[in-house]
């Protein structure tokens, strides 16, 4: 879920890490390897966010290059395993702003594509009434009789437009036809005027929804397996497509099963990649968190989701509080607490410190590793991934010290009812989504090396 779309996509990196490069290249036959990049960007100029809203969903996003239509138009799409319907900012898109509303950058021009077709009110697509989208497609009525879509996310961004179909080309894979939202109005609160993202020259054209919903790109294209590897910083990672992967499941991967709940519950997202969190450790200390706190309750609140569309990781308060306390206890000799009780970064991160960049660099290798213990697997977070430097915040004489916050946030403070494992903590981890066997696999990896070996270039 974003905080808030061909062939089958397949694991290669763990094979490369163990010298099986030939097998990995063979697996690419009939598929493709796409560059995946974590970068600061915005979809368009944005207004200042309201209080207590998440502002960072598109500050740092995972983006992939895609070609859409005939002739192909190159677009950049945010890879989001937490969203369903893919969408593109379309020609004529406007974004609300205090001044004259600007046109969206790099918008897709449907009228220039011979394979583009907007869905009409009478089409079967517009009559779709699945259970996955909060607001299903609906008819706008005369005179246009267009089929409309309206999407909203937990970070208060929203998108409105028409339901349409066109061909998508990802890497060297054959083109596939898929439904998507052709967005004509987009509003975002993910960055403010002081964020570097607002001034970035990069701009995303849309979002590729990869969850398990009926209208996701995964479901529409019959994808049974896909994988990605995120390089730290702005280095290139990769998204791997091609082959069935049945004979290439690497034993080094640790898998955790996807959690299914058949009955509808108000706070349980049934199309998310939901896994079971069984414990949290800080260093060698397993936190005394009751199992009931880590499992969905009778309303569905408390599920754990693996989400490429959310930057950081969020824990419910009853798990966040002991994590924060134990981390502070184990780092007293390494980091000086910020000492400002009212300072909360992005409305959800209040375990913060003040230190110079040199101090943090020296301390990063001594910080206790935080492990998210899943059923059959673990996501281990250590070193530089544990701290995030807050943009624009300096302390001390001459601003010698920066402000750093622990990269685990409090879900309750952010208005969420779930645990979310964000992409910042998936860096240098090969993540495989195996829909055929209802599981997610994790393996430590060097994503930059895998990108070089597979020839994925931005």
Active site residues: 80, 307
3-state SS class at 325: helix
Which residue pairs from 100-107 have beta carbons closer than 8 angstroms and sit at least 24 positions apart in sequence? 102/44, 102/45, 104/43, 104/44, 104/186, 105/44, 105/203, 105/205, 106/75, 106/76, 106/203, 106/205, 107/205
Residue 315 has φ and ψ, to the nearest 5°, of -125, 145
Q: Which residue stretches of 211-316 are H helix?
A: 217-220, 291-294
As a whole number of angstroms, the distance between CA 170 and CA 68 comes to 9
Structure tokens that stand for 4 in this block: 């808030």
∠ CA 93-96-102, rounded to 5°: 55
For the chain, the straight-line distance linking the first and the last C-alpha, in angstroms and rounded, comes to 26
As a whole number of angstroms, the distance between CA 354 and CA 336 comes to 6
Going from the C-alpha of 333 to that of each of 337, 381, 390, the distances in angstroms are: 11, 20, 21
Query: Which one, of 369, 412, 405, lies nearest residue 390 by Cα?
Result: 405
For 316-354, letters b (16+ CB in 10 Å) and e give beebbebbbebbeebbeebbeebeeeeebbbbbbbbbbb
3-state SS class at 313: strand
Return the DSSP state at 124.
Answer: G
As a whole number of angstroms, the distance between CA 320 and CA 338 comes to 18
């Amino acid at each position: 879920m974003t905080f808030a779309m061909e062939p089958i996509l397949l694991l290669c990196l763990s094979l490369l890490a163990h010298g099986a490069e030939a097998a990995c290249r063979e697996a690419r036959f009939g598929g493709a390897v796409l560059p995946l990049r974590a970068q600061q960007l915005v979809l368009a100029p944005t207004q200042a966010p309201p209080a207590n809203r998440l502002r960072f969903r598109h500050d740092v996003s995972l983006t992939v290059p895609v070609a859409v239509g005939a002739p192909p138009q190159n677009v950049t799409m945010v890879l989001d395993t937490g969203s369903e319907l893919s969408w593109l900012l379309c020609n004529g898109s406007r974004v609300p702003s205090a001044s004259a509303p600007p046109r969206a950058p790099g918008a897709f021009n449907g009228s220039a594509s011979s394979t583009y077709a907007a869905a009409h009110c009478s089409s079967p697509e517009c009559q779709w009434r699945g259970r996955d989208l909060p607001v299903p497609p609906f008819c706008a009525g005369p005179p246009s009789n267009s089929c409309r879509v309206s999407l909203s996310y937990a970070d208060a961004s929203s998108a409105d437009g028409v339901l349409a179909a066109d061909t998508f080309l990802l890497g060297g894979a054959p083109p596939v036809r898929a439904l998507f939202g052709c967005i004509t109005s987009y509003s975002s609160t993910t960055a403010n005027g002081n964020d570097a993202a607002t001034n970035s020259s990069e701009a995303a054209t849309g979002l590729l929804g990869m969850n398990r919903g009926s209208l996701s790109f995964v479901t529409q294209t019959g994808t049974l397996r896909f994988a990605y590897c995120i390089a730290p910083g702005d280095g290139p990672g990769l998204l791997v497509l091609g082959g069935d992967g049945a004979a290439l499941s690497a034993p080094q991967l640790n898998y955790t099963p996807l959690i299914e709940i058949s009955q509808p519950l108000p706070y349980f997202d049934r199309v998310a990649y939901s896994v079971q969190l069984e414990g949290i450790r800080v260093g060698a200390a397993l936190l005394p968190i009751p199992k009931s706190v880590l499992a969905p309750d009778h309303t569905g609140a408390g599920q754990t989701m693996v989400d490429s569309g959310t930057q950081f990781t969020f824990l419910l308060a009853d798990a966040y509080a002991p994590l924060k306390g134990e981390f502070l206890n184990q780092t007293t000799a390494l980091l000086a607490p910020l000492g400002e009780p009212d300072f909360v970064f992005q409305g959800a991160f209040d375990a913060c410190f003040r230190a110079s960049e040199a101090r943090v660099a020296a301390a990063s290798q001594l910080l206790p590793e935080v492990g998210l213990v899943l059923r059959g697997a673990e996501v281990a977070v250590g070193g530089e991934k544990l701290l995030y430097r807050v943009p624009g915040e300096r302390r001390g004489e001459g601003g010698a010290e920066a402000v750093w916050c622990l990269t685990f946030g409090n879900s309750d403070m952010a208005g969420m009812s779930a645990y979310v494992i964000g992409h910042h903590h998936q860096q240098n981890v090969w993540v495989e989504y195996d829909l055929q066997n209802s599981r997610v696999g994790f393996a430590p990896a060097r994503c930059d090396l895998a990108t070089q070996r597979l020839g994925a270039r931005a």
